[in-house]
Amino acid sequence: MADSPHAGILIVDDDSASLMAMEEVLRSLGSRLVTARSGEEALRRVLDEDFAAILMDVRMPGIDGFTTARMIRERKRSRYTPIIFLTAAQEDLASMFRGYQAGAVDYIVKPVIPEVLRSKLAVFVGLHDMNRMLNAELAERAMTEQRLRTSEENLRALASHLQSVREEERIHIAREIHDELGQALTALKFDIASLAKGCSTDQSETVAEKSQATATAIDRIINSVRRISSGLRPEVLDEIGLGAAIDWQAREFQRRTGIRCLVELPPRFVDPDKDRSTAIFRIFQELLTNVARHANATRVEVKLEEQEDGNGLHMTVVDNGRGIKSAELESPTSLGFLGLRERVLAFAGSLDVIGEEGQGTTVSVTIPTAVQQPVFHA
């Protein structure tokens, strides 16, 4: 009954003839008509289902209409259900005031005029139907929003997982290149030097020149291996920590681009866990890349510090370049900053970018050091 698509009207009267007459008058409304022969039965009815309106006889044995209406109003489910009082006698103003005080929206004296009663109830039925449709729409919208939030959380968790997998692959490849290829090239260099020493005197000059040229080429390859390995995963990040890795990357950036890079670290900086260290380092690398490509800057200042409450890390990167525009930040093609924000959001952190034309750009990154990791929802 509670799930019926038709709005219900509750008719409360202890007189069977009055109940039948009301049902006959209201049948043409097309609403679901429910009857109750006492105040107690009416209270049970409103516990089971919602009604568009309640027609309540004032005088009934046991609990009268006034008391029943007051008790209906006290219940959360039926607090706003319209109640129309019906009485067979001409009531004085005091009784009418008592009815309105009990929660009535109207007071009708029997015998009722069918057209008037139907018109009044049709309004309440229409309002009830509109309210029910609105509630259904709101519930559907809430469910859709929840699905979108869940989908967003899943995508963010998946992106975080993919970044973690990519970092692990970089670590593995960097170690393979550094350990295997680097050692093999170093051994080859020693073999060539040994071979040159063992050659005859007549061949020594030619062999020495060729071996020297080969050794020089191997040195270049070794340096390339180290550079590629460091680009994939700097050893300093794993061996010494985030602070040293930031300082090393800044010096490498300055050497490679000629842009002066100043780093400020706290005297007793404590490295966060591996995931946060990696995230902050990768964000720093991306910001330096943006400076080199787009900023036209001559100086970059970097500050890494712990938050005052000790529950997070704060990094600020400031350049003196052309200054990023808001349109560039909001552009759908600005994938670099989108990726940075996703990295930060994976740790419930924040990333703020402020740019003034001709005044440079300031990027502030905050990452909490103690936060629940995103969970992938199946």
pLDDT digits (tens, 9 = 90+) for 25-61: 888 888 889 989 998 998 989 888 888 899 988 888 8
Q: What is the pLDDT of residue 92?
A: 62
The count of residues in the chain is: 378
Using only the alpha carbons of the chain, give its radius of gyration: 40
Using the predicted structure, report yes or no on whether residue 213 has a pLDDT greater than 80: no
Reported as a pLDDT band with limits 50, 70 and 90, residue 220 is: confident
**Residue 54 contacts residue 72 (beta carbons within 8 Å):** yes
Q: Is the pLDDT of residue 79 over 90?
A: no
What are the φ/ψ torsions at residue 317 (nearest 5 degrees)?
-120, 120
DSSP E strands in 232-292: the ranges are 260-264
Under 8 Å between Cβ of 109 and 91: yes
Tens-digit pLDDT profile for residues 113-166: 888 888 888 888 888 888 888 888 888 888 888 888 777 776 666 666 666 666
